Amino acid sequence: MFSKYYTIVSIAVCAPTLATGQNYFDVMSLTCTEKQGSAVYNAAVDFPVGGDAAVIRNAKEWIGEVLMSDIDMPEVSMSGISTDDFGKLLDALAKDFVKNNEGSRRRIEITWMYEDPTCVTYEATTTDRDSVDWSTTSVACFSKQDGHRVTANEIFNCDEAQIKRLMWRYRGNLTMEVAKADDLYVGDCGYIDGWVLVVGPAQGTSGAAYRLRYPEIEQWLKKAKRDGYLAP
């Protein structure tokens, strides 16, 4: 059943230094658990409730895309959805999943990761468990200038081949399905405090987050001309 709402009251005050007078982002953390037979659905979503209107609208639309990527339900307008209506939608999605996926378990975490005066970043991970475990990670970074979703070309000042080399260097404990950097792909990108996230391939996933250490790759990043990471 749908859980009781609670509000996150702390704002992510992260480096670089936040400027004063910003329209700060805020979320309400919602959770949902549904079980039927051996099927289980769990979701935890940081739902946007405050901040720049364009960022909120586009973040809601992206959250809807993540949640409904493979659910056969009527299309829902997400951009203006209220917290109460989103709670009802989340409950309906959970019921639909357990009804049609006997023996499967799904966990979705949609997390507000970062904010500065220039952007807001989310990360979403969906983990499915049936005969094998499979996960999908998506990153969405929204510009506070107009709410658009930030691309790799707005973050990096280098070509895609160099981004792949950086991903290879910072692959960490990710298990690779490819043998060299050139075989990677560059997916969603975004900022978190001290890091740049880039989605790329890894074993057992439809996309994993590579974490590139910001101070160590700064020469390949576009320089912001104001407080925050994102260049204008």
168-221 pLDDT per residue, tens: 999 999 999 899 999 999 999 999 999 999 999 999 998 999 999 999 999 999
23, 142, 15, 159 alpha-carbon torsion, rounded to 10°: -150
Domains of the chain by residue range: 1-150, 152-222
Can you tell me the distance from the alpha carbon of 63 to that of 84, in angstroms, rounded to the nearest whole number? 15
Joined together, the tokens standing for residue 152 give 């790799």
Segment 110-145, tens digit of pLDDT: 999 999 999 999 999 999 998 788 999 999 999 999
Give the CA radius of gyration of the chain.
18
Query: What is the 3-state composition of the chain as percent helix, strand, coil, each rounded to the nearest 5?
Result: 25, 35, 40
Reported as a pLDDT band with limits 50, 70 and 90, residue 84 is: very high
Residue with tokens 């209506």: 85
Cis peptide before 16 (omega within 30 of 0): yes
Tell which CATH architecture fits domain 1-150. Answer: 2-Layer Sandwich (3.30)
